[in-house]
């Protein structure tokens, strides 16, 4: 019997969906006591899958925008809270949920969707590809000295972490203009505030720039504080760092390096090509401990997505795209420096929609996917043209967990 998928709206339904998701993820804590659950979900976007009348799975999303190469912000669905009860896995629940969700997102007119995958083998069959990654880095504060050439940055001041959420949202909204950044809707900020209020431990927020014209901030907290004053390895963790300018970035890093009593600074989420090590006289003061997939991207409207993205170079090519789940995307597209249009012509290259999603932001290379057999080449030199057209100055990075 196929799962019955429907939109959840009542508070008790949302609480049940949250409980299903946490049971599926195993290691997540419950919502803080007293949390207003209805304020954490966007109305009409939470789906529930029922099997024999029991809520067995859920999927959720938020309205957002994604910054694509060239600087455009395109309508985007931030997909999250996808989970199935351990008692109902491998029974078609995820398939029913994600098929329905893709149809709903397309009906809303959102061009792309992204998610963070707890399991990497699930989402490619629904058209998602790994479009961007993040690096986990740790910095030895005592070894880290900024080069004389690094900008000094502006004024940095501490603000009250409990009452500064509106200010942080404003700074992020104006400053998150890099490729791969997504809008953070009010629901996202409310969840951060709920987590902050539910954690009694110390946490700090510093902002960069003059009052009323702030252009960056950093949120951080110490760990293992029970023996803080006698420890030989006192650590702070950077929860969120946003800088709209190089000066703001340098000023915030300079501030972190100036925090006394700290031996090590952990940056759990940084861009793979983040310049932190280059700022230092000893780049070995920074250790990259891992690089992992961050943004899984699904192109919902291929013609619109290709048209909104910027391209480089003077070449052009015809790209064939196949999409099994959203067949309206299947077709051939002429792509050049002036943009992209649908066309009836023989293809120079051919990809499925998941591969195009992986390539869309410039987070991976056409030659890599061609070598893996994911790009069919029908004209000599077409891969090189695609490399130039889809090239970007920096690797895509979201920096937002949802």
Q: What contacts 215, CB < 8 A, 6 or more positions away?
A: 154, 171, 174, 175, 208, 209, 243, 244, 245, 247, 248
**DSSP H or E stretch at residue 128:** none
Could you say which of 41, 62, 123, 134 is catalytic?
A: 123
Rounded Cα–Cα distance for residues 111 and 72 (Å): 12
Nearest one of 106, 100, 91 to 6, comparing CA atoms: 100
**The CA-based dihedral angle spanning residues 300, 302, 307, 308, taken in that order and rounded to the nearest 10 degrees:** 20
Instruction: Take residue 24 and report the two structure tokens written for it.
Output: 């599926």
- How many whole angstroms separate alpha carbon 317 and alpha carbon 315? 7
**DSSP class per residue in 67-93:** E-TTS-EEEEEEEEEEEE-GGGTTSSH
Give the closest residue to 48 by CA, choosing from 71, 24, 28, 31: 24
Q: Are 158 and 220 in contact (CB under 8 A)?
A: no
- CA-closest candidate to residue 188, choices 395, 45, 8: 45
C-alpha closest to that of 219 among 151, 184, 227, 297:
184
Is 402 among the catalytic positions?
Answer: yes
Residue 123 among the catalytic residues: yes
Nearest to 148 by CA among 250, 245, 248: 250
The encoded tokens of residue 367 equal 């030659």
| Burial of 282 (C-beta count, 10 Å sphere; 0-12/13-18/19+) | exposed
Q: Name beta bridge partners: 216.
A: 208, 243
**In the chain, how many H helices and how many E strands?**
9, 17
Catalytic residue, from 249, 267, 333, 402: name it.
402
What amino acid positions are annotated as catalytic residues? 123, 402
């Amino acid at each position: 019997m196929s799962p019955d998928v429907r939109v959840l709206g009542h508070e008790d339904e949302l609480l049940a969906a949250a409980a299903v998701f946490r049971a599926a993820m195993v290691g997540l804590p419950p919502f803080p006591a007293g949390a207003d659950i209805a304020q954490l979900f966007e109305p009409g976007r939470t789906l529930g899958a029922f099997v024999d009348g029991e809520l067995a799975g859920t999927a959720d999303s938020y309205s957002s925008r994604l910054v694509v190469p060239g600087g455009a912000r395109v309508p985007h669905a931030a997909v999250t809270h996808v989970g199935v009860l351990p008692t109902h896995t491998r029974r078609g629940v995820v398939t029913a949920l994600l098929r329905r969700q893709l149809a709903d997102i397309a009906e809303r007119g959102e061009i792309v969707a992204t998610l963070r995958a707890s399991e990497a083998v699930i989402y490619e069959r629904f058209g998602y590809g790994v479009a961007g990654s993040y690096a986990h880095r740790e910095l030895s504060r005592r070894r880290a000295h900024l080069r004389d050439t690094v900008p000094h940055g502006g004024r940095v001041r501490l603000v009250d972490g409990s009452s500064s959420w509106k200010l942080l949202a404003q700074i992020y909204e104006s400053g998150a203009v890099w490729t791969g950044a997504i809008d953070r809707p009010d629901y996202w900020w409310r969840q951060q505030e709920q987590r902050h209020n539910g954690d009694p431990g110390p946490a700090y927020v510093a902002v960069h720039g003059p009052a009323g014209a702030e252009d960056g901030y950093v949120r951080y907290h110490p760990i293992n504080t029970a023996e803080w004053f006698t420890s030989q390895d006192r650590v702070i963790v950077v929860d969120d760092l946003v800088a709209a300018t190089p000066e703001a970035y340098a000023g915030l890093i300079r501030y972190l390096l100036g925090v006394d009593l700290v031996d090590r600074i952990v940056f759990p989420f940084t861009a793979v090509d983040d310049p932190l090590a280059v700022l230092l006289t000893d780049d070995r003061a920074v250790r990259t401990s891992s690089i992992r997939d961050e943004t899984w991207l699904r192109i919902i409207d291929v013609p619109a997505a290709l048209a909104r993205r910027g391209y480089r170079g003077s070449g052009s090519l015809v790209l064939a795209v196949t999409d099994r789940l959203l067949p309206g995307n299947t077709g051939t597209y002429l792509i050049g420096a002036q943009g992209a249009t649908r066309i009836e012509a023989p293809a120079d290259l051919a990809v499925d929609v998941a591969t195009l999603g992986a390539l869309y932001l410039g987070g991976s290379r056409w030659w890599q996917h061609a070598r893996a057999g994911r790009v069919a080449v029908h004209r000599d030199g077409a891969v090189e043209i695609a490399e130039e057209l889809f090239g970007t100055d920096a690797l895509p990075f979201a920096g937002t967990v949802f």
